[in-house]
Homo-oligomer: A and B are copies of this chain.
Amino acid sequence: MAICSKKWGNDSYLIADESDATLQKGKEEIDLALKKMPVVRQLIDQFGKEKPLQGIKIAACLHVTKETANLCRVLQAGGAEIYLCGSNPLSTQDFVATALAEEGVHVFAWTGNTDEEFYECIDACLKPQPNIIIDDGADLIVTAHKNYPEYFDENGCIIACQEETTTGVHRFEAMDKAGALKCALYPVNDASCKNQFDNELGTGQGIVAAIIGMHVLFAGKTVVVAGYGHCSSGMALRARGLGARVIVTEVDPIQALKAAFSGYEVGKMHDVIHKADMIFTATGCKNVVAKEHIPKLKDGVILANLGHFDVEIVAKDLYEAAEGHIKTIRPNVEELVFPSGKRAYLLAAGRLANLALAEGHPSEVMDMSFGLQAMMAEYIAKNRDTLKNRVGLFKVPEEINEKVAYAKLASMGITIDSWTEEQYKYCTGYEEGT
């Protein structure tokens, strides 16, 4: 894959392809997605008028998809200058990167980058001294802490940071606990308008897109879902909704109980893995399917990870076991034949299967997540003086969360009840009883 580098105006970017055809495709796909993102559309209008991000530099490490492109459009409309790198080696849609470069975003991303290139791109986003960092998986912010500690000083550039995904939030919680976090961090992932929609619905439909794209029937299959959090329970729900029999594994007893009371079989991975026609992971943990599980795998099993990192299904272990008998049978689908003669199908080398085999989370749902991200950037810019010196994880303000929800409801043509004066008084008081 050819990588090109080119100056454009006084800005820079690194993308895979700058042909007109690619550019046009990118533009069209981004525009098409925007039609399905009414909340973001509304913010583009509003930010365009109010310019809340004038003078703000934003560094972002996100999946470079058509939806992310529309987030960039809002932020740009608001006056921000944007530095963007991809949060996963396989998730960049190159035509999107091309279109973004043309629209003036400093984009450093292409499909299939190496680990080394990944960190070069990260550095390219950090060098320009951003004021806000938007991250998906914590790599950009963690790297900033390591390589640019001065950004977080009293006179450093950073106002605050935003994190998009569960895995990233867990890392920041650990960092905070260890006293290593040096700024205010907004776990946008934890807003209910994000994780109860993007995570459940997006991941749920994402696994469907990946599997159905392989032309595999769900009905009648036995699916083992590792995890029963927001993402994984979404996958369980959809697999069931398509006629599969679902078995859940968990380490959290409450989630395990929820799965059991929802009618799923629940057990330890070692006890149930041999029943699986497909195994889906989204745990945020590592070694969920590893070397020791290989002998128990059923012939023909499909292995798909939708967790953020590629450590859940340990590709390395699988590759070693099937060495010399690995064949790509469809894009991002490898057939591995083990010495036992049994076959397994590994998707996207254990990386996010929905982004590699399909187009990632649907625009309709990213509309909410990125509506939140944009409004949080506005909120941080507005409160820069206060936030500058705060350290720790802070909740997304409920009024922002609700604003997104109301906007989404309106775009769907749904109006809901609101409290009367009397109801308000009753519901917020404590005097009335039996």
Q: Determine the distance from Cα of A246 to Cα of B167 in the docked complex, in whole angstroms.
A: 34
Interface pair B217/A287, CB less than 8 Å apart: no
Known contacts A242-B241, A254-B193, A430-B174: does B216 contact A213 (CB below 8 Å)? no
Q: Are A219 and B201 in contact (CB under 8 A)?
A: yes
A171 at the interface (CB under 8 A from B): yes
| A205-248 near B? 1/0 per residue, CB < 8 Å | 10011001101111110000000000000000010111111100
Chain B residue nearest to A223 (CB atoms) is: B263
Min CB gap A422→B, angstroms:
7
Task: List residues of chain B with CB within 8 A of the CB of A217.
Answer: 36, 201, 205, 362-365
CB proximity of A134 to chain B, nearest CB, Å: 16
Partner of A423 from the list B212, B219, B242, B286 (CB cut-off 8 Å) is B286
Question: Interface digits, A262-297 against B, CB 8 Å rule (1 contact, 0 not)?
Answer: 111111110100000000000011110000000000
Contact (A137, B261) CB under 8 Å given A364-B217, A416-B253, A427-B285: no
Q: Give the contact-size bracket for chain A.
A: 35 or more
Given A201-B217, A205-B242, 13 other A-B contacts at CB below 8 A?
A: A36-B217, A205-B212, A241-B243, A243-B261, A251-B416, A253-B402, A253-B405, A253-B416, A257-B408, A260-B414, A266-B409, A287-B420, A309-B433
Chain B residue contacts of A264, Cβ below 8 A: 245
Q: Are B213 and A414 in contact (CB under 8 A)?
A: no
A393 at the A/B interface (Cβ < 8 Å)?
no
6 A-B pairs with the lowest CB-CB distances in the bound complex, closest first: A241-B241, A253-B405, A217-B362, A171-B430, A217-B364, A174-B430
Distance to closest chain B CB from A88 (angstroms): 7
Contact indicator A405/B216 (Cβ below 8 Å): no
A180 at the interface (CB under 8 A from B): yes
Interfacial chain B residues near A431, Cβ < 8 Å: 142
Contact pick for A240, options B241, B419, B422, CB 8 Å: B241
Q: Which residues does chain B contribute within 8 Å of A432, judged by CB atoms?
A: 286, 309, 311
Q: Judge whether A317 is part of the interface by a CB distance below 8 angstroms.
A: no
Chain B residues near A137: list those with CB within 8 A.
433-434
Residue ID in chain B nearest A240 by CB atoms? B263
B220 and A418 contact, CB distance less than 8 A? no
Are B258 and A196 interface neighbours, CB within 8 A? Answer: yes
Which residue from chain B places its CB closest to the CB of A65 in the assembled complex?
B215
Once the chains bind, are A139 and B433 in contact (CB under 8 Å)?
yes
Query: Roughly how many angstroms separate A366 CA and B220 CA in the complex, as a whole number?
Result: 14
- Chain B residues near A311 (CB, 8 Å)? 426, 432
* Nearest opposing residue in chain B for A416, CB measure: B256
State the oligomeric state as a number of copies.
4
Minimum CB distance partner of A367 in chain B? B217
Partner pick for A260 among B88, B218, B409, B419, CB 8 A cutoff: B409
A285→B253 contact, CB < 8 A: no
What residues of B have a CB within 8 angstroms of the CB of A265 in the complex?
A: 245, 265
Contact of A261 among B219, B240, B309 (CB under 8 A): B219
Q: Which residue of B lies closest to A191 (CB)?
A: B254
Which of A405-421 touch B at CB < 8 Å?
405-406, 408-409, 412, 414-420
The yes or no answer to A92 lying at the interface (CB within 8 A) is no
Chain B residues lying within 8 Å of A180, measured Cβ to Cβ, are 430
Q: Is the CB of B434 within 8 A of A88?
A: yes
Assess whether B285 is in contact with A416, with CB atoms less than 8 Å apart: no
In the complex, what distance in Å separates the CA atom of A89 from the CA atom of B172?
Answer: 50
Give the distance in Å from the alpha carbon of A269 to the alpha carbon of B419 in the complex.
Answer: 12
Instruction: Indicate which residue in B196, B241, B254, B419 contacts A192 across the interface (CB closer than 8 Å).
Output: B254
Cross-chain contact of A430 among B142, B251, B364, B417 (Cβ < 8 A): B142
Q: Is the CB of B263 within 8 A of A428?
A: no
Query: A287–B423 contact, CB under 8 A?
Result: yes
The answer to whether A250 and B286 have CB atoms under 8 Å apart is: no
**Neighbouring B residues of A245 by C-beta, 8 Å:** 260, 263-265
Whole-angstrom CA separation of A245 from B174 in the bound complex: 37
A window 293-312: CB within 8 A of B:
300, 309, 311
Whether A35 is near chain B, meaning CB under 8 Å from some CB there, is yes
A88 to B420, CA, bound (A): 26
Chain B residues contacting A402 (CB-CB under 8 Å) are: 253-254
